[in-house]
Amino acid sequence: MAKTAKNTTSFAPVIFIFCFTVGYIATGYIYLDEESRHVPILTGYVTIFLLALEALKRFIPSMAEEPKDTSGVEAVTVSVSREIIGLAYVVALASLIYIFGFYVAIPIYLFIAIAYLGNQPIKTAGISAVVASAVIYVVFELILETRLYQGLFF
């Protein structure tokens, strides 16, 4: 039986995440006060938008990437040291957030993670870190009017 983009099992993750997101939004509307529901509502509707794009990609085969022939390629295994380094980055992020706050920690973490873990050019890492930080600031400070943790020193 050939697999097609319209196979219902290919939609299972999208449907599952959609149901979870609808429950998350409903919880925001039902149980939270007017100010507290901003985050669940914002993240929920963004997630639904992204799920709609994913469902469209799965429904229209021409939008999906062509599968690569992996018949002669061995599976890549991740070494334990690579996993430890990844865990160390997460611990470093939590420490940076605690000491310096979100607005200092996030660009530093993103820059290092994109440049070194993602093996991307430094320019790409820098631009991504600055843009992500600006988006986080606009969403939390300006739209949601919520101050993120400032750290011990600020």
Q: pLDDT, tens digit, for every residue of 55-106?
A: 888 887 665 555 555 565 565 566 777 778 878 888 888 899 899 988 899 9
Distance CA 111, CA 13 (A): 30
Question: Which amino acid belongs to residue 45?
Answer: Y
User: Does 33 map to a domain?
Assistant: yes
Among 17, 48, 63, residue at a domain's last position: 63
Q: Is residue 12 part of a domain?
A: yes
Q: Are residues 19 and 59 both part of a single domain?
A: yes
Which one-letter amino acid corresponds to residue 100?
F
Same domain, yes or no: 96 and 53:
no
pLDDT of residue 126: 93
Helices vs. strands in the chain: H and E counts, helices first: 5, 0
pTM reported for the whole predicted model: 0.51
Structure tokens at 98: 């605690």
On whether both 93 and 57 belong to a single domain, the answer is no
Give the total number of structural domains in the chain.
2
Q: Which domain holds residue 14?
A: 8-63
Query: Would residue 118 count as lying in a domain?
Result: yes
